[in-house]
A and B are shown apart, each in its own frame.
Chain A
Amino acid sequence: MNDASLPGERLASMDRCTRCSQCKFVPVPKSKAHMSACPSMDFVEFHAGSASGQLIMASGIAHGEFGYTPSMLETVSACTMCGACDTACKVNFAEIVEPLDGLYALRARMVADGQSPKRHREVMDKIAAFGNSQGLPRSDRANWASGLAFLPRADILVHVGSVLSYDTGKHDSLQAIVRTLQQAGLSLAYLGQDEGSCGMLAWDLGYHKQAKALAETFIRQVRQAGARTVVTFSSSAISVYRSIYPRMGIDLSGIRFLHFTEFLLALTAKGLVSLTPSGQYAGGTVAFHDTCKLGRLTEPYQEADRSVTKEMGGIFASRSPQALHFSRNGIYDAPRALLKHMGIEVEELERSREFSYCCGAQGGVKETLPAAAKMAARNRLAELQETESEILVSACGNCAHHLGKHVRAPATVIDLIDILAPNLAPCSSRETGVTATEGAC
């Protein structure tokens, strides 16, 4: 990597890192035990593990201070691309550093320089061959839907995502929810075995060209299906649709992207489906894990001039401050509202909403550095001990699966779809007076 290989503006932002370490902490910690914002720092422990450390390494490579080393590649692999650093840094540094964009640029340069870690390359090979990072056969991708009928073209396209598609333990819930939607009168399309990777992981690993190719394929499929609304069960997918696809210059006009929690909440409000108090959990309290992808990383990306100008003799000012990301418009409320509809009280973890701590499932860490992913999960689960709840709910199949693997009894981790499925019921249009098409739009 040489100077020219990092866009000048991005390198200048990296060079502005003040090494203040605020990206290692949630902005206002509530305890010592849960003050960390950065799972990668927790694992690596040297400053290099933090966002700042990674920006400095990127700068060092760009300025020719040193070359790539195996330790650097391993360190970068521990970063879950969760963006908590970005939120924390911006409390003081707003537009001047923007660490997450720096991390995206670093990984992209590593790929361009042929330095992507071997295990990242292996993941990409699997995505290319099988359409998922686990290398599971395409022929099994739509197994969850057996017995359900979809239309080849419909206004609404259901997207499931690679994790849930192959997580057989979730298939009953997934099927029950989709069946309810159909019973409520909604016409749904689904890509079946042709559904591929949404591109989020490819983007996070720095394979931006491949991510764009995956995005283009998907958008072509959406248009071929005649869909105007994509409803996804995947938090990675909703994140890539809203915050990454718009960076790629792909025409997304006329397509609306919704997470299933937003969609169900809207349908409930319209009276197309109803949620009854959960037999098992109503009256009880659960803690909620905000998935990074669903929360802070679903903040929509706005096309804008992202450069800074120098004003008033040297003050760096964003040309488009309204387009800066502050983790504000992610999906935080919809899952909580659904739980409330089912009579379940939500207890907030110390690090919640935009300050949530990543469980380690994202950014390729789970696939490439399981020890780091496990540590992050354990750190996150330890937070449950500060609450009255023994149940941690996640609206992300990936997080729920990963946390579920590392949880210790009596605590349990539950995927929101498993609570929703038995309590979701269609309301007939005769009861509500609302047609399915009206309700869906």
Chain B
Amino acid sequence: MAAKTGRHRLTLSPQARSELETILGARYVTDDPALMSGYAWNTGVGKIPSGDKFTSIWPIAVVLPATTEEVAAVVKCCKRHGLSFRPHSTGYGSMGCVTSPDSICIDLRRMDHLEILPDDRMAVIGPYATANQLQAEARKHGLTCHVVGAGPAHSPLASATSLIGVGITSQFTSANMRNMLAWEWVTPEGEIIRGGSAASDLGWYASDGPGPGTRGLLRGFFGGGGGIGVFTRIGIKLFPINQKGEMQTVGQVPQLRSVLPAHTALLHALFPDYEAQRAATFDLLQDDVCTVLLRMPPNHIGWTLTETNAEFVRRTRDGTLPEPAQLHNGASWTILIASRSAAEHRWRDETVRDIVIRHGGHFAVLQQEEEELLYHNFATSQYVPRVLRASGGITTSFGVLDSFHFLPKAVEMGEMMLAKDSAPGGALCEGSPDEQWIWPHEGRYMWGENIIHFDATSEASRAAGALALIGHFAAQWKDPVGMTGLLVGPIQDVTGPRIGKAPAFARKVKTYFDKDDRSKTKEYVIPNMPPLVEKILPALRPVFSNQMVLRAMSKMLGKNGM
């Protein structure tokens, strides 16, 4: 039971509080508004970082459990008191925000278990074993983990169980939705379940176990988004690298660099156009010569290579940014080759050079410091969050998850959405004509995501950002660019037949495990949707794709935030 206060906030009943305090100790339960404010801060991808940033919905309380049993007890307590909950690992993806005022935010910070099993090339981690910690420990064994674009401070467990999982090194570190091994889960009813090999008490090495497979069931591509209980421990894959031990970090803040290990090269290939880049990509992947391939939009390379926005602006204006950061050089790959011997390295290096040149490309000349900066970013994903440095306001696009056949088309779609507004005088921040980050997964398919940046303090610019975001979906409905990766909530339902019965299936899973919708989120699937609405929503696609409707919706989003 909870009492209402002003501003959509509820207060915890004395009984619920007393039970939570008994479970966790009073120190680890708070409903103090100041202490909870960090869990109601609306920023980051798709949010508006200015003005009134506090969400209208605050958690009713924030708790800090230390064990799986405590998590289960908290979840059961929620059930007893008719409350909801939202799991929170580091809170970068979700901003820690709850989506209903009766939700308890379960901050898993105290659950930071981290154990490396080098022989099995894996680790067992808790929700607060952040990527930087996992990587530091893995490196001691000549291994590394996949680090998603959120950068070193995010939770690989949250990523692997609950939110997307793609990252710039996916060519050799796969993606977190495929990196999860066995798992431990507190269901929305408070039951503790282990899956994969852990279900048989046989360790954490495999996601395959006697029961049903987990990936499609619990997360799909986008992830459970906090809507399907709390994951408390998982096994996660690690990947061998050609250097054992600490990163050899040099340079000064903010431009930390890493010395390239022996038999390692960082190349930046420039192509005459996207067709040539696509053709070269198939060869590069076919021969499996590259450790990492990344296409950053040129202006984002500029952000990485400059220590401040002021330097970026100055050097953009005076034309002194290096070749890869110049806007006309969008058709490019930054390539990392990490080999284990001189002979292997020679083969890879020569093959890459041959392929690039054969397709009409050439290599940009990089200073050693620039190479080391880009290498540092590859090794740690440290600078990817710089996407938020420029204007503080970014949003994303639909995410292309498909064959490299779609590369030119994805860029073209990005240009169609952005080029007018990202040109000088446009409604977005000035940038590249498209802002696609592109990379391959495991030598096969492509991930492409258009990162849109806007002036968060200007309503018109926010509206343009929103239009670019939702416009992407409408354009994608009309003329698909491969499979759409970032489908979530109502967008799945509106997208309809193209993704089969995915939302309806996810809804069944959700309803089966969480019929009262206690594990509350807007990042999973709309629960308990009447079949009629389920049917009608796809039919509304033409309405949502209508330019006037899109403009009206983006104006509204520009005014009120996303």
Contact = CB atoms under 8 A, between A and B. Distances in A.
A89 to B, nearest CB: 9
Contact of A20 (B112, B153, B454): B153
A421 interface: no
A283 interface: no
Nearest to B307: A94
A253 interface: no
Contacts of B109: 45
Contact of A314 (B254, B256, B380, B461): B461
A354 B251 CA distance: 12
B236 to A, nearest CB: 14
A69 interface: yes
B64 A45 contact: yes
Interface string B132-169: 11101100100000000011110000000000000000
B107 A25 contact: no
Contacts of B132: 25, 28-29, 35
A56 B96 CA distance: 13
Interface residues of B, number: 83
Nearest to B456: A314
B129 A32 contact: yes
A437 to B, nearest CB: 36
Nearest to B258: A28
A171 interface: no
Tell which of A72, A95, A316, A318 has the most Cβ of chain B within 10 Å: A316
Interface in A164-204: none
Interface string A51-64: 01100110111010
Given A46-B30, A95-B308, A16 B49 contact: yes
Contact of A21 (B90, B307, B430): B90
Nearest to B309: A317
Contact of B253 (A19, A75, A312, A326): A326
Interface string A6-27: 0000001001111111101101
B310 A314 contact: no
A56 B130 contact: no
A48 B253 contact: no
B392 interface: yes
Nearest to B37: A60
Contacts of A314: 390-391, 393, 428-429, 453-458, 461
Interface string B488-529: 000000000000000000000000000000000000000000
A65 interface: yes
A315 B390 contact: yes
Interface string A272-293: 0000000000000000000000
Given A15-B53, A46-B107, A328-B253, A312 B37 contact: no
A391 interface: no
Interface string A297-330: 0000000000010111111111101001011100
A363 to B, nearest CB: 19
Tell which of B32, B150, B385, B453 has the most Cβ of chain A within 10 Å: B32
B392 A96 contact: yes
Contacts of A32: 112, 114, 129, 133-134, 136-137
Contacts of B209: none
A224 to B, nearest CB: 39
A374 interface: no
A243 to B, nearest CB: 16
A36 to B, nearest CB: 10
A319 B310 CA distance: 7
A313 B428 contact: yes
Contacts of A94: 254, 307-309, 389
B54 interface: yes
B429 A20 contact: no
Interface in B65-108: 90-92, 95-96, 107
B43 A18 contact: yes
A61 B33 CA distance: 10
Interface string A37-80: 00000000111101011001101110101101101100100000
Contact of B385 (A63, A92, A313): A92
B185 interface: no
A91 B28 CA distance: 31
A75 B309 contact: no
A366 interface: no
A47 B91 contact: yes
A382 to B, nearest CB: 15
Contact of B249 (A28, A87, A92): A28
B252 interface: yes
A20 B91 CA distance: 8
B251 to A, nearest CB: 11
Contacts of A72: 32, 34-35
Nearest to B38: A47
Nearest to A91: B254
Interface string A249-285: 0000000000000000000000000000000000000
A45 B110 contact: yes
A324 B255 CA distance: 14
B322 interface: no
A56 B309 contact: no
Given A35-B132, A47-B39, A94-B308, A68 B96 contact: no
B386 interface: yes
A30 interface: yes
5 contacts: A18-B43, A18-B385, A25-B132, A28-B152, A72-B35
Given A28-B132, A52-B38, 6 more contacts: A18-B385, A28-B380, A45-B109, A61-B34, A95-B308, A328-B252
| 6 cross-chain pairs, A with B, having the tightest CB-CB distances, nearest first | A314-B455, A47-B38, A72-B34, A66-B33, A321-B310, A312-B430
Interface of B: 7, 28, 30, 32-35, 37-39, 41, 43-44, 49-54, 62, 64, 90-92, 95-96, 107, 109-110, 112, 114, 129-130, 132-134, 136-137, 140, 150-153, 246-247, 249, 252-254, 256, 307-313, 316, 380, 382-383, 385-386, 388-393, 424-430, 453-458, 461
